[in-house]
Amino acid sequence: MGSFVRWSEVMGGILAAAEVDGFLGNRDRMAAGARDDEEAEFLAAIYELLGEESWYARDVATGAAPGTTVHAAWPAGVEVTPRSLGTWLGMRNGASFVTACGRLTLQGAPVSGVMRYRLARRDG
């Protein structure tokens, strides 16, 4: 909520006293939805580039040159480095995302101690 924390507390109190339910009730869902949309767009860009081939974080990070679709969709707050991307992917391993390419599931498994990923696509 940033600098609006106190304001939201006051407004929440006023609305609660007036018996108005639901103030900021969808805040977490909305924040998650925005994040999921950004993540889905990024994974769709990787899928468009590599399809269902397997890859390492370093492959994507080194191939994400400015001007590419992958670079344009790169998640906010994540450095364009293999390590940062590897951490980001690791936190989403096994997750599914609805994208313009269909439903993509991020699948990662260690190969010689390094995570190797692929995006499995299901229509619908």
pTM, two decimal places: 0.70
Tell me the residue range of the domain where 8 lies.
Answer: 2-122
- Residue 57: Cβ-neighbour burial (10 angstroms; 0-12, 13-18, 19+): buried
Among 22-26, 92-96, 114-118, the least confident range: 22-26
**pLDDT recorded at residue 17:** 86
Distance, in Å, from the CA atom of 81 to the CA atom of 103, rounded to the nearest integer, reads 26
Q: For 43-72, what is the mean pLDDT?
A: 94
* Bigger pLDDT: 117 vs 5: 117
Distance, in Å, from the CA atom of 88 to the CA atom of 122, rounded to the nearest integer, reads 22
Residue 45 pLDDT level (bands cut at 50, 70, 90): very high
Q: Structural domain tally of the chain? A: 1
**pLDDT recorded at residue 9:** 78
**pLDDT recorded at residue 117:** 97
* pLDDT reading at 38 higher than 60: yes
Could you tell me if 101 and 80 are in contact, meaning their C-beta atoms sit under 8 angstroms apart? Answer: no
Residue 6 pLDDT level (bands cut at 50, 70, 90): confident
